[in-house]
Structure 1
Amino acid sequence: HTVPHAGEFGYETWDRTESYGANCWSGMALDEVRGIAYLTTGGPKPNFIGVGHRGQNLFANCLIALDARTGRRLWHFQEIRHDLWDLDVPAPPNLATITREGRRVDVVAACSKIGNTLLLDRVTGKPVFPFQLRRAPTSTVLGEQSWPYQPDVQQPEPFCRQEFTAADLTDRTEEAESWAETWFRSATTGWFLPCTEGRANLFWNIDGGAEWTGACVDPDTGRLYVTANHVGWLISLFRDGDPPDDPRLPKTAGQLVYESTCAQCHATNRMGIATAPPLRGLRFRVDDAFVTNQVRLGKNAMPAHPDMAESDLKALVDFLMWRDRPVPPLPQKPERPRYGMTGYPKFYDYEGYPANKPPWGTLNCIDLNTGKLLWKVPHGEYPELAERGVRKTGTENYGGPIVTAGGLVFCAGTRDNLIRA
């Protein structure tokens, strides 16, 4: 069981009120001679919210070796501990034989969403290159216990950026750059920074890096080829102690103000859109003065409303704080509050293109013998941008490569619907 049952190894790595996930997305690889099956697993669920499954969470985010005859676990190797970012190991494993220090070594490789290549001895499960961990930021979410260390891999060289910075923002046009800078300032960013309440966290790789389609390896050279996406995502958490809206009740004055003034950015269900934060559970996070100040003065991309009538503002605050309609009694402060998230908005600019600098998709070549990233090239184009002279941007792509004995690599899955060699 990739989420261990009672009495099984790893059971104690889940401090559980909920425990699921750790699924194998994309299939296995088989060493027929040794009778060993290799599989990769996704993260624990729900994504981004770990208060109900605190701990290391074996065997999520792992490359696992099983005795194919008995199903017995031979070894496992975990990349991310207590994954709070939906950074699975989604790709099927690749089997290869490489040369290290003058001897041939049978290895298994698995590419991850964050852009690492897990390269392990097929028999022992030991890393071919040193696997380093680094101190990671601590979550500020009530009830969450983020894992203190996360992977900081140097070899094989990562094929993706792993921390979103201001230097990554698009400069495609002045308008796109200004738009991206505004949203960037309103978000949190950082290397393995956990999501926070009420403010979007901007990070890479929810759709890869590598994806389900995986990589291919040239058995003669030990070179691995893998496609990757390079697009940011904006993930917001909120403490959701609010009950569902009752459609049988008539709309209140504050609800009408909200729908005409706020819903365009924060959604009619108050779940938020893109970096506009969710407003459900607001009464647990802020007071009336905070809401009033935000509405009157605005902040970052939120416009100010200095001319809103005082009666409308009071009605709006009462609506957001659940004072204008029946509400169940407030629960006692729980040790593990219930959280929600606002969906999976990608960090796109105002024209619908990624709001980070290209390339937005690449084909990458890694020499497994040395761990060197030999090259990466943009993969795909947006035809309409190419017509305007903006070429070789790469696009999001969901097609795995194939390598031939003649040294050709074929790849597809891009926005322009082309197969490239």
Structure 2
Amino acid sequence: MNRAVLPKVRKQKYPVLKGVLICMFLLVWNSGCEQDRDTFSNWGIYKADEKSSSYSPLDQINKENVSKLALAWVFEPNDTIAGGRPRNSESNPIIIEDVLYTTSARGRLFAVDAGTGALKWSFDPFYGERGGGIKRGVTYWEDGSDKRILFTGGDKLFAIDATTGVPIPSFGKEGKVDLNQGMRGDPDKISVIPTSPGILFEDLLILGTEVSELYGAEPGHVRAYNVRTGESIWTFHTIPQPGEVGHETWPGDAWKYAGGANNWGGLSLDASREMVFFATGSPTYDYYGADRKGMNLFGNSVVAVNARTGAYLWHFQTVHHDLWDYDLPAPPNLVTVEHDGRKIDAVAQTSKVGFLYVLDRETGESLFPIEERPVPHSDVPGEEAWPTQPFPLKPAPYARQYLEEADIADYSAASRDSLLQVFRSLRYEGLFTPPSVGGTLQFPGSRGGSSWGGAAFDASTGLLYVRSNDSPEIMRMKKVEPDSPISDQSVYELGESIYTRYCVNCHGKDRKGDEQGNPSLLGLKGRISEADVLTKIRQGGGKMPNFSSIIADKRKEEAILAYLFENETQQPSGRETYLLKEIISNQGASPESQSTDSLPRYLNLTAYGYFRDSKGRPGIKPPWGMLHAINLSTGEYAWSVRLGNKPEFQSGQQETGETGSAGPTVTAGGLVFIAGTRENKFRAFDKDTGEKLWEIDLPGFANANPSSYQVDGKQYIVLSVGGTAENTAGSVMAFSLPD
């Protein structure tokens, strides 16, 4: 029988699990055991299993001995292109029997011995070119001796022989499928790049994608491919086409030009029900929607479809007509809860706003009350913000959702006065205050709540573990004007003005980047080519949007390169005929797209910027990051603790907490493991109380979810760690108890 499988436990290698092996035997022969088959596997799927539980049934490492946990082995990819900068890896390794599969920060695929870290083979999807882009993991499939790793490199989907590391020629064209095919735009001009791995249902790989966040972006189709051949089997349109459910929530022709509403965080599967679940981001443009009036399904929605056909089953929209980039950033957790005296299979969805949505798995109905409440109107011309938004009453928000003046930081009298002046000058009416031309405070922010790391769920206790971020930012809208001239400037000065307008909020005035993974742009000469820089600007990637329209003419290309590569000897460029070409469509948009020339265009020129004081310090008092345990049956909190620390801002023994994207892993040993804080520590907490039991210093920033597995009777915790100046490619580090 053809099937997607997880690695089964070998009796001789797992003496501590003899009891469950008996249950597994009964399950195979007479279905007498109702426990999930994933319980008996290693970490064979992204986030542990098809339910995205991030749970390990292993208990060799536990509360009593975790203090002895120590480094067991290190694998270093050493694949950075000469002169490359340090990179972060978000890969959550999978383990099949005794082989660990992972991707490096550059996007190269590696197979290593899970017991020693020794390299078995590697595959470079970029064939020696620079490569890169965010990759959070890979997918494994087998049928007898046919064993495959499915993963994406750039805009290509690869099938690689899991034993040899060689592309499987019968898959697609010489082992790869072009993901640009089947989209709306010209395949030769667009770039559709998934960041999270797909999930398997029988012989289907179901895959979301990452698309641009600007006007004219590609739509966020969710697609299924035949694992053997690479053939496209079905497509679910997240921007519904005529005759499809949800089409009426958009302008009639919006499906021709609207983009986004994409699943970039991963998927979950209920194989017995033949249901696949995914969560989507906002439609484009994220902060202004005059060309997409309506609720905009299936943007910002939890969606269930038939895994075999892609047919719509149900949805729940968490934000109507999103204007805040409030994407649903992680795969839903499939959970079972006690509700009204009975067990219910449910879906638990984390969010950037700090709400946790708990929905019936079969119907999409919320298990706890949700109120549609009036929210503020937009004051940006042409915008029609949706008048209400859903507010779950339980569980209570796991991130702060409202700021008062008492919350403003007070490093000094001058600093506080300055922050208060900014705070009072901004429009701020709570969670759903729309962006404005005069400036709006956004909180908990587009980096708030929780991110792609998602949550971990322990079925034995019914507790869900999730981190939270409080990261306010300022949204300031500006109308795009096509004919605003720039007086005589040198090419370098023009480049500086472009950088200041579009890049400074993420990379900083000093171009040093920040702790959220926005890289330093200093010293580009000698470590990256001008062509690679232009490709990155045009295509974007990760948090960075596509800026192809910003540098749409040769002079602007020359200008931004002159500034970034510190070349001040360029000759003057003369008069610029405009500040910014009106953004109508991304590079390669379909010529059949409806023209929207008559509509105004606004950009949030401070998107992803921070609310900080003049010295770059957070503008609000801590905590800035927390870790929570939530009882999904009752909706109550078991505990909450601060996660991470900025020692320079610490008051007494109380840590500050830190923002971060990586998520937790929970184990049967009573532990919650989590990294992803900028002081470069890896921690373990008591899953029942939140007490910190162990921490270790790492050589770099570990912006990834940990995995846990067992080989030859030994349990390991493994984590991808980012690069440093000494080791730019980073590493994979495995921890275990001493022999």
* TM bucket normalised to smaller: 0.7 to 0.9
What residue is the counterpart of 2:481 in the other structure? Answer: 241
In 2, Cα distance between the equivalents of 1:38 and 1:326? 48
Residues 1:37 and 2:301 are matched in the alignment: no
What residue is the counterpart of 1:185 in the other structure? Answer: 424
In 2, Cα distance between the equivalents of 1:174 and 1:90? 38
**Contact 1:165/1:189 (<8 A) preserved:** no
- TM superposition shift of 1:251: 5.1
SS of equivalent residue, structure 1 residue 12: helix
Match of 1:2 among 219, 224, 238: 238
In 1, Cα distance between the equivalents of 2:280 and 2:577? 44
In 2, Cα distance between the equivalents of 1:397 and 1:183? 25
**Contact 1:164/1:190 (<8 A) preserved:** no
In 1, Cα distance between the equivalents of 2:411 and 2:671? 32
Match of 1:380 among 633, 639, 644: 644
Q: 1:21-420 maps to which residues of 2 (within 5 A)? A: 21-191=260-430, 192-243=432-483, 245=485, 250=488, 336-342=599-605, 343-386=607-650, 389=652, 391-420=654-683
In 1, Cα distance between the equivalents of 2:452 and 2:646? 23
- For the structure 1 residues 203 and 273, does the alpha-carbon distance in structure 2 shift closer, same or farther, using more than 3 Å as the test? farther
Equivalent position amino acid for 1:220 in 2: S
**Contact 1:163/1:189 (<8 A) preserved:** no
Cα shift readout 1:302-348 (whole Å, capped 9, x = no counterpart): xxxxxxxxxxxxxxxxxxxxxx99789xx9xx973121221321112
- TM superposition shift of 1:3: 0.9
Cα shift readout 1:136-187 (whole Å, capped 9, x = no counterpart): 1111111111101012221121101223332321134434322321211221
- TM superposition shift of 1:98: 0.8
Equivalent position amino acid for 1:357 in 2: K
- TM superposition shift of 1:78: 0.4
- TM superposition shift of 1:408: 1.2
- TM superposition shift of 1:268: 8.0
* Identical columns (%): 41
SS of equivalent residue, structure 1 residue 196: coil
In 2, Cα distance between the equivalents of 1:269 and 1:399? 30
Deviates further, 22-31 or 163-172: 163-172
In 1, Cα distance between the equivalents of 2:441 and 2:598? 23
- For the structure 1 residues 382 and 413, does the alpha-carbon distance in structure 2 shift closer, same or farther, using more than 3 Å as the test? same
Q: Which has the higher contact order (CA 8 A, sep 6+)?
A: 2
In 2, Cα distance between the equivalents of 1:137 and 1:4? 27
SS of equivalent residue, structure 2 residue 278: strand
SS of equivalent residue, structure 2 residue 343: strand
**Contact 2:350/2:454 (<8 A) preserved:** yes
In 1, Cα distance between the equivalents of 2:498 and 2:673? 43
Equivalent position amino acid for 1:165 in 2: E
Cα shift readout 1:238-277 (whole Å, capped 9, x = no counterpart): 112243646xx6359xxxxxx9xxxx9x988667977xxx
Cα shift readout 1:328-387 (whole Å, capped 9, x = no counterpart): 9xx9xx97312122132111223322111110011011110011133221110114334x
Aligned residues: 355
SS of equivalent residue, structure 1 residue 183: helix
Deviates further, 391-400 or 237-246: 237-246
**Contact 1:143/1:335 (<8 A) preserved:** no
In 2, Cα distance between the equivalents of 1:232 and 1:197? 18
- For the structure 1 residues 271 and 72, does the alpha-carbon distance in structure 2 shift closer, same or farther, using more than 3 Å as the test? closer
Cα shift readout 1:191-240 (whole Å, capped 9, x = no counterpart): 21111113343432301201011001110111110011111011100112
In 2, Cα distance between the equivalents of 1:106 and 1:69? 20
Equivalent position amino acid for 1:225 in 2: Y
Equivalent position amino acid for 1:250 in 2: D
Equivalent position amino acid for 1:363 in 2: L
In 1, Cα distance between the equivalents of 2:503 and 2:298? 33
**Contact 1:142/1:336 (<8 A) preserved:** no
RMSD of aligned alpha carbons: 2.7
SS of equivalent residue, structure 1 residue 353: coil
In 2, Cα distance between the equivalents of 1:24 and 1:148? 25
**Contact 1:13/1:58 (<8 A) preserved:** yes
In 2, Cα distance between the equivalents of 1:157 and 1:384? 31
In 2, Cα distance between the equivalents of 1:173 and 1:100? 49
In 1, Cα distance between the equivalents of 2:360 and 2:294? 27
In 2, Cα distance between the equivalents of 1:344 and 1:354? 14
User: TM-score by structure 1 length?
Assistant: 0.78
**Contact 2:302/2:316 (<8 A) preserved:** yes
What residue is the counterpart of 1:13 in the other structure? Answer: 249
In 2, Cα distance between the equivalents of 1:219 and 1:357? 35
- For the structure 1 residues 405 and 140, does the alpha-carbon distance in structure 2 shift closer, same or farther, using more than 3 Å as the test? same
SS of equivalent residue, structure 2 residue 626: strand
In 1, Cα distance between the equivalents of 2:499 and 2:313? 51
In 1, Cα distance between the equivalents of 2:459 and 2:655? 29
Equivalent position amino acid for 1:398 in 2: S
- For the structure 1 residues 100 and 379, does the alpha-carbon distance in structure 2 shift closer, same or farther, using more than 3 Å as the test? same
**Contact 1:385/1:391 (<8 A) preserved:** no
**Contact 1:218/1:224 (<8 A) preserved:** yes
Equivalent position amino acid for 1:355 in 2: G
- For the structure 1 residues 219 and 360, does the alpha-carbon distance in structure 2 shift closer, same or farther, using more than 3 Å as the test? same
- TM superposition shift of 1:52: 1.5
User: TM-score by structure 2 length?
Assistant: 0.45
Unaligned 5+ segments in structure 2 are: 1-236, 506-574, 583-596, 685-739
**Contact 2:282/2:325 (<8 A) preserved:** yes
In 2, Cα distance between the equivalents of 1:114 and 1:392? 23
- For the structure 1 residues 350 and 126, does the alpha-carbon distance in structure 2 shift closer, same or farther, using more than 3 Å as the test? same
In 1, Cα distance between the equivalents of 2:664 and 2:332? 14
- TM superposition shift of 1:87: 0.7
**Contact 1:403/1:409 (<8 A) preserved:** yes
In 2, Cα distance between the equivalents of 1:84 and 1:419? 35
Equivalent position amino acid for 2:240 in 1: P
What residue is the counterpart of 1:280 in the other structure? Answer: none
What residue is the counterpart of 2:150 in the other structure? Answer: none
Deviates further, 8-17 or 107-116: 8-17
Equivalent position amino acid for 2:667 in 1: T
What residue is the counterpart of 1:318 in the other structure? Answer: none
- For the structure 1 residues 351 and 102, does the alpha-carbon distance in structure 2 shift closer, same or farther, using more than 3 Å as the test? same
Equivalent position amino acid for 1:210 in 2: S
- For the structure 1 residues 101 and 12, does the alpha-carbon distance in structure 2 shift closer, same or farther, using more than 3 Å as the test? closer
Cα shift readout 1:49-88 (whole Å, capped 9, x = no counterpart): 1111111000010011111111111100101100001111
